[in-house]
Amino acid sequence: MDRRNFLKTVGASVGISVLPLNLILTKYVSAKCPDDRWTDYVFAPGAGSPNVKSASDWEGLAGVYFERRPNTRLLAGGQPSVEAFVDTLLTPARDACVTLPARDLFIVSHGTPDGWMAIRMDSTHPNSIRGAIIESVEFGDLEDMAREKQQRNAQGDRGSIEIPHKAVSPRPTGGAKARLRLVACQVGEAVTFVDKLKEVIGDEVALRVPKFRDFFVTDGFSGSVEYFGYVFVVSSLTDLPDRAAVKKAFIDAREKLFNGNPVPDSEWEKWLPKGDIQKTGTRVPSFSIVVLNPKIEGLDKRRLEVPDGYKADVDIFGPEPFASATEADAASETTRRSFVESKLSTDTRFKGAFPLHQRLGFDTLALFTAAYDWWPRGFGAPWEKKEDAKRGKDIKEWRGYRNRYVLIVPITNADGFLFYNYVGSNGQSLHQGLENEDALFITR
């Protein structure tokens, strides 16, 4: 998902019949110490009931879920990084509720399938190499952190976010290895990113990362639910003319279900909204779930994002690698694509163990550049946003455009029931069906 839109769309595809927000904020379990010393600890900066902005505030709703979850301590405020989270676990004076060893650890963050998380790892790696406006981490940051961890280990010290033995050991007799569970949408699709993160955090915990979109809902009365959804995407340089063309594009993509089986062709007919969807710019109604009976009923419980013309899908900003661009390079579709490919071929972001085009789902740089219509800002792209056009021409700032059709479908078993985690509003009831379905995660 492109960086401008993920904050608007993640978690917002859930239609919830809820109590008023003020009741949501008053019916959560207060931040008291867990009753059981065998506790899970959660790092969720900015999350929790006092910070919930709306019923589609993903981080806030995740925080409510973990606040209610029994034998769980949410460490949110005052923890600026994963490094500080680990330090807090090792320094009981910082939080009187912390007792070691921890049972399991959780890190809550927005994420994307190309290997990117909206979270600060440590004091020296606060930002993405793509210049994100929020603190974030991607593969290049993890490569640096892995090298630094090796150097620190050689000197008898641990890496900045390496989980030390005493934080999670000793385990109960016959107990499983402690898990560090990322609560971060689709990051598990970026296997290379996950493997490098595992290298950085060390071997004391099993790293467990979701491969699908992560949703939280709460109604302020029955409790909070976490569940997963498929995110199916097809793209085209031209508008797909009608529903039949969109359906064919999804069928041709040969998508798979969570268990590895192909999506039956008949499912697309069920999942796609009826009627003409060309350039509607609308979304079908999102789905609701009943906490105590979360079976998906009917065939209309899905969401489709339909592009209204082209949408900017990739931003590659200057002055590098486009400092040498001239207006001749922007003269035609052919010259624009040729120029972009030639410049990106020498860009370090598109080299190395996990180059940017692979993170975005393309095996080669040529396939990546061919998938977009490239334009510098202000040079006449018919779908350019008005605010960008007002800023005037900039031959050094290029964007790739394409139509993207995104279908989000809740993940269910063969009988149509959700895989879900549930915690009651009293903080006592707990169901961990999603957590225990290994096929939904990648584990290292």
pLDDT in tens, 90-137: 887 777 788 899 999 999 999 999 998 988 898 887 654 444 446 788
Is residue 293 predicted with pLDDT exceeding 60? no
The rounded distance, in Å, linking the Cα atoms of 129 and 125 is 10
Reported confidence tier of residue 83, pLDDT bands at 50, 70, 90: very high
Please give the helix or strand (H or E) that residue 65 lies within, else none: helix 58-68
- Report pLDDT for 107: 95
Average pLDDT over residues 141-152: 95
Instruction: Considering only residues 1 and 253, tell me which one the structure prediction assigns the higher pLDDT.
Output: 253
In this prediction, residue 304 carries a pLDDT of 56
Residue 440 structure tokens: 């939904």
Q: Is the pLDDT of residue 58 over 60?
A: yes
In terms of average pLDDT, the best of 231-235, 247-251, 282-286 is 247-251
pLDDT at residue 11 tops 50: no
Per-residue pLDDT, 387? 64
pLDDT, the chain, mean: 77
How many other CB atoms are there within 10 angstroms of residue 437's CB atom?
16
Report, as an integer, the average pLDDT of 331-337: 92
Contacts 24+ apart (CB under 8 A), 124-130: 124/148, 124/160, 126/81, 129/349, 130/3, 130/349
39 confidence band (pLDDT: 50, 70, 90):
very high
pLDDT number for residue 277: 59
What's residue 442's pLDDT? 93
> What is the mean predicted confidence (pLDDT) over 419-423?
86
* Predicted confidence (pLDDT) at residue 275 exceeds the cutoff of 70: no
* Residue 103 to residue 101: CA distance in whole angstroms: 7
Q: How far apart are CA 88 and CA 83, in angstroms?
A: 9
Residue 154: what pLDDT? 96
Which residue has better confidence, 440 or 303?
Answer: 440
Provide the pLDDT for residue 220: 61
Give the pLDDT score at 276: 60
Query: Using 50, 70 and 90 to split pLDDT, how confident is the model at 233?
Result: confident
CA distance 107 to 180: 8
With a cut of 90, say whether residue 26 has pLDDT above it. no
Q: How far, in Å, are 119, 396, 411, 417 from residue 241 at the CA level?
A: 39, 33, 29, 34
- Give the residue, 405 or 221, on which the prediction is more confident: 405
pLDDT above 70 for 371: yes
pLDDT value at residue 366: 94
pTM, 2 dp: 0.83
Give me the mean pLDDT over the 365-375 stretch: 91
Of 297 and 237, which is predicted with more confidence?
Answer: 237
299's tokens: 């065939």
Q: Of 35-44, 55-64, 76-85, 308-317, which range is least confident?
A: 308-317
CA distance 409 to 401: 25
For residue 193, name the pLDDT band (cuts at 50, 70, 90).
very high
pLDDT(297) > 70: no
The pLDDT, as a whole number, for residue 17 is: 27
Check residue 18 and give its pLDDT: 28
